Amino acid sequence: MHPVPPALSAAARAAVAARLRPTLAQLVRDVVADELDGEVHVPAATEVLLRRIAGMAPHLGVGMVGLTLLFDASCRPMGGPYHRLPADARARVLDRWRALPGPLASWAVFYEKMGVFAWWAVCEEAQHGDHGEVRP
Amino acid sequence: MTTHRCEVLVIGSGPGGATVAALLAEAGRDVTLVEEGPDLRIDSAPSYSLAEMDQKYRNGGLNTTFGRTQVTYLEGRCVGGASEINAALYHRPHPETLAGWARDHGIEQMSMEALLPYFQDIEQQLHVHRRAEGLSPASRRIVQGAQALSWRHTEIERFWRYQGEGPRGRRQSMSETMVPRARAAGARVHADTRIQRLLLRGRRVEGAVGRKAGPDGGRVRYQADRVVLAAGAVQSPLLLRRSGLRRNVGDNLRLHPMIRIAARFDQPVNDPSFGVPVQQVEEFKPEITLGGSHSSQPHIALWLGRQVPDRRALMERWDHIGVFYVAVQGQGRGTIRALPLLDQPLVRYDLGARDLELLGTGLQHLGRLLFAAGARQLMSPVEGRPPIERPADLGQLSDLPPGGAIAVSTIHLFSSLPMGQDPSKSATDSYGKAHGFDNLWVQDASLLPSSPGVNPQGLIMAIVRRNVAKMLSDG
């Protein structure tokens, strides 16, 4: 039988989600800054991101969690974590990550794209109640 | 452990597996069809919604290849497989594609003449139709642009039933067609059950073991006289490699790389009630295909990118924006490997220089098409580059950088277990029977020897029907 690693316990998953949630919420706010009105849809979009990361293949999901924690740690010398930095510092740190090689830049692009997608998907759901089109 | 006994075990319920299950059950065989994902109605979630991604896509739709340029890819994970989440577009392949496979890979009975009866069966039984409700605004723009440039274009037919289904009709996915046929003929469908390993003994496969999810779940074992593997171009080779088979398994992954562009027009072009645009430009096929993508608000926002100025203003008129694509035949190759301790594969794909060149050429063609159709602004698919507002600036699209600056995706993967008569170069014979085995077949997109350059579902189903006819005639 192919060995499948045991899933994290519910408590461990909740702890990881609680650790990531403020960072992801701030990333959502920053990537939809143009469109944002207050906090509307930010919590729901953040939960979408958490669900997406949890649903990834383990070798990708673990990497995303690790890089997110590394990203937050990289904000410490500037007074972080990320969500506690002022807007100009957050923009600088995101720009810096975009310019990094390989998976680090991919990490930044992932949140820019998925943050925007998740926020607009939640908006659309709120508008239509059911995300719009129903395939006949 | 629960043990099930059947004559034929079919693993995977997408267009290949569902077709095999239906045809063999109707021929009187005792069939069990096993599917890793859930058994859901076609309308269990709105198309392309977050709910649908959660329910029917593997990993919520977030899969990516490794390599210098990552390619994100989608896999269906539900009863019906990819047919439940794709646009239901139907093509016959170019006859030369089939002739080339026969010539280069020694595949028997591989020609349009040989496959024609199977294509005709599919077209009749799965209600392959043009749209009855007319073209969407985005499709009309593709027509307008192609006519202005004197490029060949066509409306792609779909697996779609109109009779008795109201004005919008109903898509004919596997959960609507072949799976019910299989059930009606006595096949058992086991959803939520992931097969983890085949049970091999010499030249025979004796069954498989896996795990059923859910409250009544647990380990399951299948004993079967024959096993048909139809889990798709990623999962089928993964299962074989986990079962200890290596030769020509997962070494030849091919795909259709695709890049999307969001285009802004002065007039509304976007009516999501029409679904995916069905017009395609034929002028550059099979190497390059141009067409339209699903264009809901989140998808438009995604493809506008971060570099557009004032995304809020653009999104207030989101119905003036459509998402369009370039897909190319794909010259690169990839591999699929099992990872220790994990149940999901490492997929590598090398997007070659020729792929980038074709994508760049295709993007320039797409830009010309969209400007000729009245587009005012094209959002560059290259990270950090500003929107393109004049046809004279389209040249910048020919120079696509490798790496993460472009978002390449695919929904068409194949060739990871290619058929052919030479066991040193292929994984199965001309009809999907695994080399070196007496009772193991592969019947899915993995079989195609190379990229067909068209939406592959109809082709896969035709080849599988041909192969099932061979299985039955051989007893």
Which residue of B1, B44, B49 is the best one to mutate when testing the A interface, meaning the one whose CB has the most A CBs within 10 A?
B49
pLDDT digits over B196-245, tens only? Answer: 999 999 999 999 999 999 888 899 999 999 999 999 999 999 999 999 99
**CB-based contact B168 A136, cutoff 8 Å:** yes
CA atoms within 13 A on the CB side of A31: 30
- Among the listed residues B127, B294, B412, B435, the single catalytic one is B412
Q: Report yes or no on A97 lying in a domain.
A: yes
A52:B60 CB<8 A? yes
Omega before residue B215 within 30° of 0, cis: no
At position B83, the amino acid (one-letter code) is S
Q: What is the pLDDT of residue B112?
A: 98
Paired tokens of A115: 């943050």
**Contact between B209 and A120 using a beta-carbon 8 Å cutoff:** no
Of all residues in chain B, the one with the smallest CA distance to A54 is B59
Residues of chain A in contact with residue B311, where contact means CB-CB under 8 angstroms, are 34-35
Interface contacts (A, B; CB < 8 Å): 127
- Domain chopping of chain B, boundaries: 2-39+78-126+172-253+413-473, 137-163+257-410
Q: Are B73 and B411 in contact, with CB atoms under 8 Å apart?
A: yes
pLDDT tens track for A39-94: 889 999 999 999 999 999 988 999 999 999 999 999 999 998 999 999 999 999 99
Query: Do A117 and B298 touch, CB atoms closer than 8 A?
Result: yes
Residue keyed to tokens 């995101």: A94
Answer yes or no: do A113 and B407 touch at CB < 8 A.
Answer: yes
Closest CA to A65 of A128, A130, A20: A20
Report if residue A43 sits inside a domain: no
Query: Do residues B90 and B157 make contact, with C-beta atoms less than 8 angstroms apart?
Result: yes
Nearest Cβ partner of B46 from A116, A119, A130? A130
Tell me if A15 is assigned to some domain: no
Structure tokens at B230: 């139809």
B412 a catalytic residue? yes
B196 contacts on A by Cβ (under 8 Å): 1-2, 4
- Scanning chain A, the segments in alpha helix (DSSP H) are 10-31, 42-55, 58-74, 87-98, 102-128
Contact predicate B75/B56, CB 8 Å: no
Residue A63 located in a structural domain: yes
Q: What is the pLDDT of residues B29-83, one digit of tens each?
A: 999 999 999 999 999 998 889 999 999 999 999 999 999 888 999 999 999 999 9
Quickly state the pLDDT bin for A134 (edges 50, 70, 90). very low
Q: How many domains does chain A have?
A: 1
Q: Which domain holds residue A95?
A: 57-128
Which overall architecture, per CATH, does domain B137-163+257-410 show? 2-Layer Sandwich (3.30)
Give B164's contacts in chain A (Cβ within 8 Å): none
Distance from C-alpha of B13 to C-alpha of B37, rounded to nearest angstrom: 9
| Complex prediction ipTM | 0.90
Beta-carbon contacts of B415 under 8 Å, excluding residues fewer than 6 positions away, are B233, B252, B253, B254, B445, B446, B448, B449, B450, B451
Question: Omega into B286 within 30° of 0, i.e. cis?
Answer: yes
State which CATH number among 3.50.50.60, 3.30.70.1230, 3.40.50.150, 3.40.50.880 fits the domain covering B2-39+78-126+172-253+413-473.
3.50.50.60
With a pLDDT cut of 70, the percent of chain B lying above it is 100
Residue B305's closest chain A neighbor by CA? A113
Mean confidence (pLDDT) of chain A:
86
Q: Which residues of chain A does B47 touch, with a Cβ-Cβ cutoff of 8 Å? A: 133-135
Residue B19 pLDDT greater than 80, yes or no: yes
Rounded CA separation B441/B443 (Å) = 6
Q: Inspect the interface and report whether the beta carbons of A109 and B383 lie closer than 8 Å.
A: yes
> Which pair of tokens denotes residue B368?
């010309």
Q: Which two tokens stand for residue B72?
A: 């994100």
**Cβ B106 vs Cβ B453: under 8 Å:** no
> B58 to each of A61, A87, A120, B64, B138, how far by Cα in Å?
13, 36, 22, 11, 29
How far, in Å, CA of B275 to CA of B291, rounded? 13
Q: Indicate whether A112 belongs to any domain.
A: yes
Q: What is the pLDDT of residues B336-361, one digit of tens each?
A: 999 998 889 999 999 988 999 999 99
Judge whether residue A7 has pLDDT over 70. no
Q: pLDDT band at B457, cuts 50/70/90? A: very high
